[in-house]
Amino acid sequence: MQMAHETREKLETYLINADPFLWNTMEKRNKKERIQELQSMGFLKGYSVGTNATYTKINQDLLVELGLEGILESIVVPRVNALFQTEVLQYFRRCWKQGQTPPLAYLKQHKFYRRHVFTNIETYDDSWKVPPVVGYKEAAFIFVQIDTQHDFVERWTVFAGLWFEEIEPLLRAES
């Protein structure tokens, strides 16, 4: 993936400052599991089991090991393409270009988001050893912020802008 120096600097800065880590494209949801996921992909082999490196350190190590292009080509783009079919990304892009977010009903219909009801353990009978996991970040959270309390799409994420304005044009230029 070839990119202009200015584009590389911009994307590196956004990557380093990304919250959530790697723009929420990782399958796992906690740091230790994310490190294991990256190791299973062949990266960060120098990390020992149970390493508790900061996300800043992980980003620095990934940039040294893969470079920005490698991070995009090996982690971010394949994950986005695995989660979202081409037609969905095209629909998201059309929404982005028109200045509107995709409707929540669309996200639910395509199983990118489901509402989670938060509760406490007392709600469950004794058959539950631990409460069910709630609040798992669905695929939709990569591109949009959802007000889960009031159940509506609030806005696009920073990653959405980077994807539609910087990363996708690079992918199109490459093909």
Indicate if 96 and 77 belong to the same structural domain: no
Q: Are residues 57 and 109 in the same domain?
A: no
What's the pLDDT score for residue 135? 39
Cβ pair 18, 71 in contact under 8 A: no
Q: Are residues 118 and 72 in the same domain?
A: no
The pLDDT value recorded for residue 119 is 56
Residue after which a domain boundary falls, among 67, 82, 97? 82
Segment 91-147, tens digit of pLDDT: 999 999 999 999 999 999 998 887 665 555 554 445 545 444 333 468 888 999 988
Percent of the chain past pLDDT 90, that is, above it, reads 65
Please provide the DSSP assignment of 78-116 as one string.
HHHHHHS-HHHHHHHHHHHHTT-PPPHHHHHHTTS----
Of 31, 63, 82, the position where a domain reaches its end is 82
Mean pLDDT of 32-51: 92
Task: Identify the domain boundary among 43, 58, 82.
Answer: 82
The total number of structural domains that make up the chain = 2
The pLDDT, as a whole number, for residue 120 is 55
If asked whether residues 76 and 95 sit together in one domain, one would say no
Asked if residue 75 and residue 96 are part of one domain, the reply reads no
113 and 99, same structural domain? Answer: yes
Q: Are residues 121 and 167 in the same domain?
A: yes
Q: 69 and 112 in one domain? A: no
∠ CA 73-102-71, nearest 5°, is 10
More confident residue, 102 or 52: 102
- Three-class DSSP category at 118: coil
pLDDT of residue 136: 44
Confidence (pTM): 0.83
For residues 75 and 46, state if they share a domain.
Answer: yes
**What is the full DSSP assignment across 33-74?**
HHHHHHHHTT--TTSPTT----HHHHHHHHHHHHHHHHHIII
**Residues 59 and 109 occupy one common structural domain:** no
Residue 55 is part of which domain span? 5-82
First to last CA, the chain: 10
**pLDDT at res. 150:** 81
Q: Do both 40 and 72 map to the same domain?
A: yes
**pLDDT band at residue 1 under the 50/70/90 scheme:** confident
Residues 78 and 102 in one domain: no
